[in-house]
Structure 1
Amino acid sequence: MTLDTDIFQTLIKMPESLKKEILHYAEYLLEKHAKIESSQEQLEQFHRYGSWSGQIIMSDDFDEPLEDMKEYM
């Protein structure tokens, strides 16, 4: 048997009140899943290669030795 068949056969045995609760819970799960997927897609679109290009500015002497390290060099 498949999972769908098992779920369907279990639902048939339940009273109407429980079926309504299951329907509400299933709708809640679908809504929650859709929100999670959309937030993950937004993160993937934001964090693409080169998304920080031009936003990070480094000083001209970035590669120069630090003053504190001169005695060790």
Structure 2
Amino acid sequence: MSTTEILEKIRLIPENYQQEVVDFIDFILEKKVKKTSISSKKRPLGLLKGRMKMSDSFDDPLEDFKSYM
């Protein structure tokens, strides 16, 4: 679809709905920018390997919640 065809269709839309079209276009553009910035910032796997230690009792129930169980 050409830009001219798109503009003609937009002109046919009542004015009160044209703002919704503008909002949707802004949404699509923002979504594209976010997708581009997210994909370019991926970190390599294993970046913190060996730097963090999880306690052996990490999955054990907390004392504070025993009355709820």
Q: Which residue is 2:41 aligned to?
A: 42
Structure 1: unaligned runs, 5 residues or longer: 58-73
Bigger RCO (CA 8 Å, 6+ sep): 2
Aligned to 2:28: 29
In structure 2, C-alpha distance between the alignment counterparts of 1:25 and 1:7, rounded to whole Å: 14
Equivalent residue pairs, number: 50
- Could you list the runs of 4 or more consecutive aligned residues of structure 1 that deviate by over 4 angstroms after TM superposition? none
User: Structure 2 stretches of 5 or more lacking a match?
Assistant: 51-69
| TM-score using structure 2 length | 0.58
The separation in 2 between residues aligned to 1:3 and 1:35, in whole angstroms, is: 26
In 2: Cα distance, 1:18 partner to 1:34 partner:
25
Q: Partners in 2 of 1:18 and 1:7 — Cα distance?
A: 15
Q: If each structure's helix is expressed as a fraction of its own residues, which one has the higher value?
A: 1
Over aligned residue pairs, what C-alpha RMSD do you find? 2.2
What fraction of aligned residue pairs are identical, expressed as a percent?
Answer: 20
Larger radius of gyration: 1
